Amino acid sequence: MAWELLISDSADKQLGKLDKDILRKVRSFLDDVCQLQNPADRGHPLTGPWAGFHRYRVGQIRIIVEIDRSVITVTVVKISRRDSVY
Protein backbone atom coordinates (compact mmCIF):
# COMPACT_ATOMS: atom_id res chain seq x y z
CA MET A 1 0.00 0.00 0.00
CA ALA A 2 1.46 3.36 -1.00
CA TRP A 3 0.77 6.35 1.20
CA GLU A 4 0.15 9.74 -0.37
CA LEU A 5 2.78 12.34 0.49
CA LEU A 6 1.57 15.89 1.10
CA ILE A 7 3.90 18.81 1.84
CA SER A 8 2.63 21.91 3.61
CA ASP A 9 3.43 25.33 2.13
CA SER A 10 5.83 26.17 4.96
CA ALA A 11 7.64 22.82 4.64
CA ASP A 12 7.90 23.36 0.88
CA LYS A 13 9.65 26.70 1.49
CA GLN A 14 12.00 25.00 3.95
CA LEU A 15 12.76 22.31 1.38
CA GLY A 16 13.72 25.01 -1.11
CA LYS A 17 16.37 26.30 1.29
CA LEU A 18 18.15 22.95 1.61
CA ASP A 19 21.35 22.04 -0.19
CA LYS A 20 20.66 19.98 -3.33
CA ASP A 21 22.41 16.85 -2.01
CA ILE A 22 20.47 16.99 1.25
CA LEU A 23 17.24 17.69 -0.64
CA ARG A 24 17.82 14.59 -2.76
CA LYS A 25 18.35 12.47 0.37
CA VAL A 26 15.21 13.88 2.04
CA ARG A 27 13.05 13.27 -1.03
CA SER A 28 14.38 9.73 -1.41
CA PHE A 29 13.74 9.04 2.28
CA LEU A 30 10.17 10.36 2.09
CA ASP A 31 9.49 8.28 -1.04
CA ASP A 32 10.72 5.18 0.83
CA VAL A 33 8.54 5.99 3.86
CA CYS A 34 5.44 6.26 1.68
CA GLN A 35 6.00 2.71 0.43
CA LEU A 36 5.86 1.21 3.94
CA GLN A 37 2.80 -0.52 5.36
CA ASN A 38 2.97 1.76 8.40
CA PRO A 39 5.06 4.96 8.11
CA ALA A 40 5.04 5.32 11.90
CA ASP A 41 7.36 2.30 12.16
CA ARG A 42 10.28 4.31 10.74
CA GLY A 43 9.84 7.48 12.83
CA HIS A 44 9.44 8.39 16.46
CA PRO A 45 6.27 9.81 18.01
CA LEU A 46 6.66 13.27 19.52
CA THR A 47 5.35 14.47 22.87
CA GLY A 48 4.49 17.78 24.48
CA PRO A 49 3.33 20.51 22.12
CA TRP A 50 4.10 18.24 19.14
CA ALA A 51 2.02 15.30 20.44
CA GLY A 52 0.30 13.48 17.59
CA PHE A 53 3.16 14.09 15.15
CA HIS A 54 6.09 11.86 14.19
CA ARG A 55 9.73 12.72 13.55
CA TYR A 56 12.10 11.33 10.96
CA ARG A 57 15.84 11.90 10.93
CA VAL A 58 17.93 12.28 7.78
CA GLY A 59 21.44 13.20 8.95
CA GLN A 60 21.17 16.56 10.75
CA ILE A 61 17.74 17.26 9.21
CA ARG A 62 14.56 16.52 11.14
CA ILE A 63 11.25 16.02 9.33
CA ILE A 64 8.06 16.41 11.32
CA VAL A 65 5.05 14.68 9.77
CA GLU A 66 1.42 14.05 10.55
CA ILE A 67 0.26 10.54 9.66
CA ASP A 68 -3.45 10.29 8.86
CA ARG A 69 -4.48 6.65 8.71
CA SER A 70 -8.08 7.40 7.72
CA VAL A 71 -7.06 9.02 4.40
CA ILE A 72 -3.70 7.20 4.04
CA THR A 73 -1.59 10.37 3.88
CA VAL A 74 1.72 11.50 5.32
CA THR A 75 1.81 15.30 5.59
CA VAL A 76 5.18 16.99 6.02
CA VAL A 77 4.68 19.84 8.48
CA LYS A 78 8.20 21.09 9.14
CA ILE A 79 11.75 20.43 7.95
CA SER A 80 14.80 21.97 9.57
CA ARG A 81 18.16 21.29 11.19
CA ARG A 82 17.90 19.43 14.46
CA ASP A 83 18.93 22.42 16.59
CA SER A 84 16.03 24.58 15.38
CA VAL A 85 13.22 22.26 14.37
CA TYR A 86 11.34 22.06 17.67
Domains, the chain: 4-81 (3.30.2310.20)
Q: 1 pLDDT band (50/70/90 cuts)?
A: low
pTM over 0.95: no
Q: What is the pLDDT of residues 9-23, one digit of tens each?
A: 999 999 999 999 999
Instruction: Count the helix, strand and coil residues of the chain and give each as a percent rounded to the nearest 5.
Output: 35, 35, 35
With cut-offs at 50, 70 and 90, classify the pLDDT of residue 82: confident
**How far is it between the farthest Cα atoms of the chain?**
34
Determine the number of helices (DSSP H) and then strands (DSSP E) in the chain. 2, 5
